Amino acid sequence: MSQKAEKPTLSGTRLKTRKRDEKEKYDPNSFRDAIIQGLNETEGDLEKVSKFLDVSGSRLNYRRYADVLFDVLFAGGILAPGGFIVEETDQSKPHRTDVCVFKCDADRESIKGFYEIFYKLIRRYKYLEKAFEEETRKVLVFQKGFTDLERKKLAIITGLILASALASPRVLE
């Protein structure tokens, strides 16, 4: 058995790291804060929300934080197991937004506005399709943690999503 001896290194030399080897830290809370701040600045105008999400897609990493993005758009914050919103220890930063499916009016037209946001977002960023289905499935599993009104809104938007084939019926499994 031949074992390779480690080559000697010179002291004072720098180790070269490639850019592809550098990993950025997974920080969903800062992503959530950026999304919530932008959503709160839109003041509930769904056209502005759609435009903000479209523009910020180039700045923010939607591919990496897709689950957080859809948690915020459905429930207004990051969902913890069981369907509860993760509370922030630092009260100076907002951890929840009122621009979400669960905080809009319970009528079909208001919820259809959020469906249009999901539709535009997924059509613009194709790679969000799979994450959207997984997140929809997760939100449906967490129904026990939601109020009756939130369940009703969830049922309406799920019906719209399934009727237009934005997600496959597998989300109901």
Give the C-alpha separation, 166 to 123, whole Å: 9
Positive or negative, the Cα torsion across 66, 70, 72, 78? negative
- Confidence (pLDDT) at 2: 61
- Decide: pTM greater than 0.85: no
- Confidence (pLDDT) at 125: 93
User: Which residues are paired to 85 by β-bridges?
Assistant: 79
Give the C-alpha separation, 3 to 140, whole Å: 55
- Confidence (pLDDT) at 171: 87
Residues with Cβ < 8 Å from 27, sequence gap 6 or more?
Answer: none
- Confidence (pLDDT) at 1: 55
3-state secondary structure of 108: helix
Q: Residue 80 to residues 40, 61, 115, 139, 152: CA-CA distances in angstroms?
A: 22, 21, 23, 10, 20
DSSP 124: H
List the chain residues with pLDDT less than 70: 1-3, 8-23, 89-90
Distance of CA 91 to the CA centre of its chain: 22
Cβ pair 158, 136 in contact under 8 A: yes
Tokens of 62: 């939607």
3-state helix, strand, coil in the chain (%, to 5): 55, 0, 40
Distance of CA 84 to the CA centre of its chain: 15
